[in-house]
Amino acid sequence: MSEQRTEISSLGEFGLIKHLASKIEVKNASTLKGIGDDAAVIDIGNGEVQLISTDMLVEGVHFDLTYLPLKYLGYKAVAVNVSDICAMNGIAEQITVSIAFSNRFPVEAIDELYLGMREACEKYNVDLVGGDTTSSLSGLVISITAIGKAKKEQVVYRSSAGEHDLIVVSGDLGGAYMGLQILEREKQIFKENPSVQPDLDGNDYILQRQMKPEARVDVIQFLKELDVVPTSMIDISDGLASELFHICSASNTGCHIYDEKIPIDAQTSMAAIDFEIDPSTCALNGGEDYELLFTIKQADFDKIKGNPHMTIIGHITDVYDGMYFIDKQGTAIQLQAQGWQHFNS
């Protein structure tokens, strides 16, 4: 081990992944894609591939049991992994679940966690086929591996966006972030005065977006019905800006997105204004919406035009044109990826 010490925070989560991946060599021809996308892609023959993705949720980092019920946590843990398979234009079929927990959790609590997982498996037609359990000295840890399938020629990577492609998002953005702000505000009020009951009225939609997000399996089905294969795709876990950086970096392109085009729910906007936050900032940097961000050829414009589940928000440019957010006044602002990144100071 080298005597030199490099702080992990100097690299950040994505820099660390890139650093580690640079030292890994793929040896098997069946490994079509390793590190660097939403899921690994394994050739299983007959024109099909297996998609494999792993996500870890750590108490105190990814979730707070002060306000997140264990049942919802179980559901969310499955949904966010199924979302990664969707982001490759595939369908999840199985998951494995590994959990670590301390003796502060009784059997009934673990049952509640798995009840949420089973409900999500039922919703997404996914089988829970195995996993592992162990003890933890520092809270609850959940690691889920999702396994899916897709036709080899229909797998969509982050790295295939082309100049002039249209940038599309599913659903609406920023709701999960504002749901988190409300939960954190009410938690702080409760800590200061436990006799005060949480004030959550009128925020059902954005609270649901944070506590019980849905994987957009339906959007993958819509795309198949419309005969549209995206040129690139990723799910929005760290904020729209961060995910655009991933696509543009992997595809060696730039992009222009337009403030007036970004879909934001009225409840999200009202909550953001109440917190004195620009609603567009929530969409760009909030994260945890688990909507799909993808690009399509201009020739497919008519196929999705007017579709209530998808919104065109911009277009891909030459890499030398940079990455810009065009505000409502027409001012071009250089995009900054300010979503959640682990290990940053």
Give the CATH number of the domain where residue 35 resides.
Answer: 3.30.1330.10
At 311-327, the pLDDT tens digits run 999 999 999 999 999 99
Query: Where does a domain end: 114, 129, 154?
Result: 154
Does 164 lie in the same domain as 138?
no
At 68-121, the pLDDT tens digits run 999 999 999 999 999 999 999 999 999 999 999 999 999 999 999 999 999 999
Does 162 lie in the same domain as 127?
no
Residue 35 neighbours by CB under 8 Å, 6+ apart: 17, 20, 21, 24
| 339 inside domain | no
Residues in the chain, overall count: 345
Residue 76's pLDDT is 98
Query: Where does a domain end: 122, 154, 186?
Result: 154
| 297 inside domain | yes
Residue 48's pLDDT is 97
State the virtual CA torsion across 127, 131, 135, 138 in degrees, nearest 10: -70
Q: 328 or 9, which is more confident?
A: 328
Q: Is 74 within 8 Å of 114 (Cβ atoms)?
A: yes
Domain total in the chain: 2
Does 169 lie in the same domain as 302?
yes
Does 145 lie in the same domain as 113?
yes
Does 145 lie in the same domain as 268?
no
| 342 inside domain | no
Dihedral of alpha carbons 290, 316, 89, 81, sign: negative
Does 216 lie in the same domain as 304?
yes
Domain ranges, residue 135: 26-154
d(CA 315, CA 295): 8
Tell me how many helices (H) and strands (E) the chain has: 10, 13
| 18 inside domain | no
Distance (Å) of CA 88 to CA 43, 85, 106, 280, 303 = 14, 5, 37, 26, 20
Dihedral of alpha carbons 16, 17, 19, 20, sign: positive
Does 117 lie in the same domain as 194?
no
Does 136 lie in the same domain as 41?
yes
| 340 inside domain | no
Does 310 lie in the same domain as 165?
yes
d(CA 45, CA 208): 40
| 66 inside domain | yes
Give me the CATH number covering residue 247. Answer: 3.90.650.10
What's the mean per-residue pLDDT of the chain?
93
Give the confidence band of 337 by pLDDT, cuts at 50, 70, 90. confident
Residue 338's pLDDT is 64
Does 253 lie in the same domain as 164?
yes
| 39 inside domain | yes
Here the tokens at position 3 are: 């005597």
At 186-211, the pLDDT tens digits run 999 988 888 888 888 889 999 999 99
| 49 inside domain | yes
Does 306 lie in the same domain as 202?
yes
Residue 2's pLDDT is 59
Does 298 lie in the same domain as 173?
yes
Query: Where does a domain end: 154, 170, 204?
Result: 154
